[in-house]
Amino acid sequence: MIYLDYSATTPVAYDVLESFNKANKDFFANPNSLYRLGVKSKELITSATKQISDIFNCLESEIIYTSGATESNNMAIIGYALANRNKGTHIIVSKLEHPSVYKICDYLSTQGFQIDYVNHDEEGIVDLEDLKKKVNEKTILISVCLINSEMGIRQPLKMIRQIAKKQSSQVVIHSDMTQGLGKVPINIHDVDLASFSLHKVYGPKGIGLLYKNSRLILEPIMYGSSKNNNLRPGTPSVPLIAAASKAIRLGTSDLDRKEVFVKRLNEKIIKKLTTYEDILINKTKYSIPHILNISLKNIKSETFVHAMEEYDIYLGTNTACSSGELSTSVMAIYNDKKRASSTIRISLSYLTTTDEINRFLNYFDVVFKKLNELK
Ligand code: PMP
């Protein structure tokens, strides 16, 4: 098997699974229970949270566990909007967000919020002049992802925050950092709220994080028994939290070396694919090497992905959450419907080997020629 869809999800790392299994076996008691066994479970959560907050350089109380980035995005954007509607009802988002952010904004627009979409330049970077113009005294929240999930475009969040705060000191910045964790260094203090998902960084599915600056108040989007945390009631999953901590520690280590390696693989693929006339590379100066997006001029992306699957090779189309639909990011950058409707996303990991890429390129050639001949 050659798996090249690491931005859709990653396999769970062995050590992460070990932490998960150990916590399931040895820390099964409810962390909300008062007796010793429960306290032991609670202590494991506390130590996992401490490790995570040390990595992010934030307070332990600023980490909230969720089921994944979709929930973190909901909790952050809806929670902040509802808790602060007395300050204003204007929200700004970029045009390169994950579908979950747009769905949340669609919902908020039915609740009396005005959603504005900030422009970007031809490299996909938020247009700071447009941002300046769009921030007004009613703006409460700006949401810009750190790394775009389809083309890997990386935003200068620190600068975006500085400019926005200068226009209006009440503005709060949320960033969906899901595609950044484990790929690029994370500076949590560039933002006020940040969403993460552990299954993108060799952790299990079903756990995500929300970083929330302690100054901020969010309105809960769920209600229930909330012994420790009024935003996420219910019994916390000790095994998932232990696994999350392990995945973050492993995932954020040695990033420079991992990136150099992935970049070499990315360049090898681009060098070969640019020799084909009917392939367009969808990439800007700010695309990170882990996410490589291409468009096939004459072949439908689903057809191509399924043909590659016959050789046990797995590629994405756009994001896993909107497979089969038009790529919003490619559309936003190139304004070309045909190009945006035939995208393939090749996403790489430090686990990808040079041999896998050589074999992938050989099969790519076979499948590409075969499908073109059929046409
Ligand atoms: N945001 C981004 C940028 C993503 O790539 C994804 C996963 N495709 C999500 C949010 C949703 O994450 P989850 O599956 O954990 O809900």
Place of tokens 């973050």: 248
DSSP character string of 126-164: B-HHHHHHH--TTEEEEE--SB-TTT-BBP-HHHHHHHH
Pocket of ligand 1 contains residue 10 by CB under 6 Å: no
Q: Report the percentage of the chain scoring pLDDT > 70.
A: 98
Taking the C-alpha atoms of residue 67 and residue 196, their distance in angstroms, rounded to an integer, is: 10
Parallel, antiparallel, or unpaired for β 172-176 and 139-143? parallel
The pTM of this model reads 0.97
DSSP H/E element including 2: strand 2-4
Place of tokens 């996992």: 48
Pocket of ligand 1 contains residue 98 by CB under 6 Å: yes
Query: Which residues pair with residue 294 across a beta bridge?
Result: 281, 344
Model confidence at 207: pLDDT above 80: yes
Model confidence at 320: pLDDT above 60: no
**What's the gap in Å between 256 CA and the centre of ligand 1?**
24
First-to-last C-alpha distance (Å) of the chain: 28
Confidence of residue 369 (pLDDT cuts 50, 70, 90): very high
**What's the gap in Å between 98 CA and the centre of ligand 1?**
7
Model confidence at 323: pLDDT above 90: no
Taking the C-alpha atoms of residue 239 and residue 243, their distance in angstroms, rounded to an integer, is: 6
Catalytic residues: 321
**What's the gap in Å between 288 CA and the centre of ligand 1?**
17
